[in-house]
Amino acid sequence: MIADVVLGLQHGDEAKGKVTHQLCSKGNYTHVIRFNGGCNAGHTIYHEGKKFVTHHIPAGVFYGIHSIIGPGCVIDPEQFFKEIKELEEAGIPAETLVSVAKNAHVITKVHKDEDGKDTKIGTTKRGNGPAYRDKYDRKGVRAEDTPCLKDYLVDIYEELYEKPDIEILFEGAQGFGLDVDHGDYPYVTSSHCTTAAALLNGVPPQAVRNVWGVAKIYETYVGAKRFQPDDNVFDTIQKVGEEYGATTGRVRQCNWMNVDTLKKAIRMNGVTDLVFNKMDVLQNVGEWKFYSNNKLMEFENEDQVKSWITSHMSFSSPQLNNIYFSGDKDRI
């Protein structure tokens, strides 16, 4: 068994879906597994000239790969079937490619109604938090106990350990800055967004080959806390970068990238391959800045930024093998 992991290093919206989609096109994966979160995620994917936004369904479906919503996820059946229908209508055979781990937990109407009342954290109001709470309170509803999902159920152990030559790509949701343990609590998501969380879906540590950490060259955040400084440049970044939440449609607050918190995410997740997205946005804005050691650093051009990041990140993170800079929506 071999497993690669794709995860976000900031506050979500880093273009993890794009990276997963590209890896699926080049790899030999037998399975793509969503390992955390629920329909609070929104992965934007450009496939054969068309734009897709998936909330539950892993990106493997676009390349005929068996795609599983893992036991670490919570699933809203209504949203699940909506996505299946949309993909089928677009010519993507999701009906035959998508499975749900039988021990994944289900988001109910009660969960969504409760989450809809949130004003403190700024959640997506999709019911994820209450569903996870009930899971750990041992009163949740599993997929195997939900009749409408019975044709999609899969036993993770039988699927991964009773078949030969398994190669998995784990697709994460949200980002390390929103992790329930390591993020800015209480302004966090309700699941774990780490490499370790992928393993909790039933894979041993020694199976992990590569960990793809995904970031933006600046940062964004959707939620209740104040994140964006008072500077018109961030309004420009928001407009140029089309920074609206893929799930809620809310405007994403913008700020300069924080290298110190990024290093923490890289180290704690064992990132081997680092991707910086949205390079084209700062090219258009014409400003290159980020925080390091609690100081705002300013650079004259993109080449200076790439040089600084490459030297400092490689030095501080010995396990890091490759750094990529991307300004394209559909590829690294």
DSSP state of 145: G
Tokens 């398994």 — which residue?
Answer: 166
**Residue 145 is among the residues annotated as catalytic for this protein:** no
Q: Which residues have CB under 8 Å from 276's CB, separation 6+?
A: 215, 216, 217, 309, 323, 324, 325, 326
Query: Length of the chain in residues, anyone?
Result: 332
**Residue 43 is among the residues annotated as catalytic for this protein:** yes
Coil/strand/helix, residue 163: coil
Tokens 């997506």 — which residue?
Answer: 124
DSSP state of 251: B
The helix (run of H) or strand (run of E) holding residue 281 is: helix 279-285
Catalytic residue among 4, 13, 134, 273: 13
For β-strands 322-325 and 31-34, DSSP reports them as: unpaired
CA gap 61, 58 in Å, rounded: 7
Spacing of C-alpha 150 from chain mean position: 26
CA gap 277, 257 in Å, rounded: 12
Catalytic residue among 43, 47, 55, 111: 43
Nearest in space to 199 (alpha carbons), one of 209, 184, 213:
209
Provide the edge-to-edge strand list for the sheet that holds 288-292. 218-221, 253-258, 288-292, 295-299
- Report the amino acid identity of residue 220: T
Active site residues: 13, 43
